[in-house]
Amino acid sequence: MTHRQLHPDSRWLLALLAALVALGPLSVDVYLPAMPTMMAALGTDIRHMHLTLSFYLTGFALFHLACGPLADRFGRKPVLIGGTVLFVLACLGCSFSTTIDQLLMFRFIQGIGACVGPTVARAVARDVFGPTRAARALSLIAMLMALAPAVAPTMGSILMLWLPWPSIFVFLAVYGAAMVVLIHLYLAESLPARQSLHPLSIARNYRELLRSPVFIIAAFVSGFVYAGLMAYLSSSSFVYIDMLGVPVQYFGFIFLTSVAGYMAGSALSARLSRSYDSERTVLVGAALTALATATMWVMAHLFPRSVSALMLPMMFYSTGMGLVLPNAMAVSLRPFPHIAGTASALMGFIQMAMSAAVTAVVGRYLVDTPAPMLNFIVFITFLALLLSVPLYRLGSATPHATNPQSTPPTTPSTKP
């Protein structure tokens, strides 16, 4: 079999990385239309159905702590292939589940396998495109990746009209298997220098990240914004289908406005990266998400039966998220080229741990009104806005924030 590895300047490399990053949102969005049906089929309740997302996000979060060091030691490619194979097996396990406990177990394993795609793909982007082009590359990847949540809920709705709910997880397994083949054939290894897996070396790398105020603040800003999206997604099928009476076949179309907003935000982020530093773009995006959630909260209370009161503000929320996520990632990875995999993993862990906690709490209180979802989203997005202010000030006070090339390279540490 011929191997035709993609050149760094190839647009197909960005497409492949975007497809890998899409493993995460696909695993969430494609089964949203099926949640009420699955709840009835498995004989469970809303709280336990929310846990299917929380367990997935918990596995996704926890394996980040191992995924990053493994990718920095053994290379990006073998970790991508191994994790994606595990993802495929877990998807098949989900499809054969007959109880909620079985589904929760396989969703946890699915999260472990799925986390390698986004985590290692971002590290590959940092390896290949360097500090100055990473923000633009990550923004373009995010824009391409937005096709996944555009297609996933609609595809899930179509599958539910013609096939039983396990077909959704079979589709995810087929997607994962295709990714394994494409990684094997077309992705070149990009690891610049191998790191040690000695516990002291790993602890030293994590300590270096945790002692960086810029890294911590950027991770929590993106974590709060992403957790807001997860709170919305985990509640959406119950809010729209059960509470507002949206037919399941139209459920997927509700997300098109959010996807359009995210793609617009990502495209704008790529354009702004030529003229503005990432910290400023994060601040603008966080302000937009806070304004959008405040508007959604007010509109939902004024028009409690309106679908548009929730759907339209989420479009602007998604636009702000498209500005925040790639630039917060670029800010976090910029000072750490020698441990980009570990940095990407720790940031992903923070994002997913926060999302898992938020979805579990929202699911506990969501019964017959979207108020718990709205209250949590407003609260955490305003926290993101508050944190983005000191991030902007730290960036303004740091010379390499606007000129990443001025940062001297850090010598890789390969000894414990």
Tokens of 328: 């917060």
Using alpha carbons, list the distances in angstroms from residue 318 to 96, 259, 339.
34, 7, 30
Q: How far is 365 from 353, CA to CA, in rounded Å? A: 19
Confidence of residue 69 (pLDDT cuts 50, 70, 90): confident
Mean pLDDT of 321-349: 83
Tokens of 16: 């492949």
Mean pLDDT of 110-116: 91
pLDDT digits (tens, 9 = 90+) for 27-44: 888 888 888 889 989 988
Confidence of residue 158 (pLDDT cuts 50, 70, 90): confident
Confidence of residue 412 (pLDDT cuts 50, 70, 90): very low
Measured in whole angstroms, the distance separating CA 236 from the mean position of its chain's CA atoms is: 17
Q: Which residue in the block uniquely carries the two structure tokens 């926290």?
A: 383
Three-state DSSP class for residue 380: helix
pLDDT digits (tens, 9 = 90+) for 354-372: 988 888 888 888 877 888 8
Mean pLDDT of 95-109: 94
Confidence of residue 397 (pLDDT cuts 50, 70, 90): low
Mean pLDDT of 127-136: 68
Confidence of residue 402 (pLDDT cuts 50, 70, 90): very low
Predicted confidence at residue 134, as pLDDT, reads 63
Q: How would DSSP label each residue in 52-76?
A: HHHHHHHHHHHHHHHHHHHHHHH-H
Confidence of residue 300 (pLDDT cuts 50, 70, 90): very high
Q: How far is 80 from 232, CA to CA, in rounded Å? A: 29
Lowest mean pLDDT among 132-141, 288-297, 328-337: 132-141
Check residue 370 and report its DSSP letter: S
Residue ranges of E strands in 283-403: none
What percentage of the chain exceeds 90 in pLDDT? 32
Tokens of 83: 């994790």
Predicted confidence at residue 309, as pLDDT, reads 92
Kindly tell me if the per-residue pLDDT of 132 is higher than 90.
no
Q: How far is 4 from 188, CA to CA, in rounded Å? A: 9
Q: Which of 310, 173, 343, 129 minimizes the C-alpha distance to 236?
A: 310
Kindly tell me if the per-residue pLDDT of 87 is higher than 90.
yes
Length of the chain: 416
Confidence of residue 399 (pLDDT cuts 50, 70, 90): low
Tokens of 319: 């636009």
Q: How far is 397 from 225, CA to CA, in rounded Å? A: 24
Kindly tell me if the per-residue pLDDT of 413 is higher than 50.
no
What is the pLDDT of the chain when averaged over all its residues?
A: 83
Predicted confidence at residue 290, as pLDDT, reads 96
Q: How far is 415 from 66, CA to CA, in rounded Å? A: 18
Which residue has better confidence, 275 or 134?
Answer: 275
Three-state DSSP class for residue 151: helix
> Can you list the domains of the chain with their CATH numbers?
11-188+205-398 (1.20.1250.20)
Check residue 211 and report its DSSP letter: T
The pTM assigned to this predicted structure is 0.73
